[in-house]
Amino acid sequence: MPINTILLPLCLALMMLVVGSGLEPGHFRPLWHKPKAALSGLLAQLLLLPALAWLLIVLFKLHGALAIGLLLVAAAPGGATSNLFSHLARGDVALSVALTACMGLLAPFWMPWAVQLQLGWLGSSAAFKLSLQQSVMQLLLVTALPLLLGMLWRHMAKSWVSRHEQHLKRFALLVLLLMISALVAGNLPALSTGATLQAAMLVTLLAMMALLMGFLFARLLRLDTTQARTLSFETGVQNAGIAMLVAFSQLQLPEAGMVALLYGLLMNIPALLALLAFSRSTSQ
């Protein structure tokens, strides 16, 4: 389907280009200036979140597209909106940006391998339609390369990019809305099944668990409150677009892609509740 194989990668690449245009090499400094916090954030996304997804899979005896959708979400990198939530919650924004950018660059290499491995654990017959090398290359072209090109664009035309930064963000938002609308319209049969309500409940529960456990994980490692808030959002706010790309284009499982789409929409509800809780804690 052209929506899944052409429009989705193009929209995702455009959004990653805009994200990259807001980054500079200095944004990666917290990765080595705050190594404990950075390593904790990476472990939370690479290991803690998949463990939570597996907890739900085992607890509710999930299988098929629903289980695969949760695994895809858990293997995806953090979403750029986590930076906004960290800012509003008075978290460590520099750390949030560094973790988001780092995971965005790691995703093309990590995600195909991690998903392929976990599909075997799940005992699923689903398989990548491309080889592992081709899957990595496609994700590189759609995610990491536009991100780096965006950084290069900012470096070469910093004045222009800075002046039009708000317009670029609005453009990225419009692209996101276009992508969501097209995916919903093109995959209505998958959304009209009785499993949609169950999927909505599960992705909301996963987001709630991720936000809570990300915070508790940071506090267990004795990170300060601002860093713990950042890890909460970095663990719970995921880039559902990349999970959808893998589901639609590489696995050709639109039902699993719809699970990722639901996560991208519904994760904002517990994230806003977490923001409210953090704000009340700060005021007190």
The pLDDT score that the predictor gives to residue 193 is: 60
Output the CA–CA distances (angstroms, integers) from residue 106 to 13, 26, 248, in the order listed: 16, 18, 20
Class of domain 2-283: mainly alpha
The pLDDT score that the predictor gives to residue 125 is: 86
Residue-wise pLDDT for 188-247, tens only, equals 665 656 568 889 999 999 999 999 999 999 999 999 999 999 999 999 999 988 999 899
The pLDDT score that the predictor gives to residue 13 is: 84
Whether the CB-CB separation of 119 and 127 falls below 8 Å is answered with yes
Spell out, as residue ranges, where the chain has pLDDT lower than 70. Answer: 1-5, 186-195, 282-284
Rounded Cα gap, residues 61 and 195, in angstroms = 14
Query: Which tokens sit at 144?
Result: 């990491």
**How much is the pTM?**
0.88
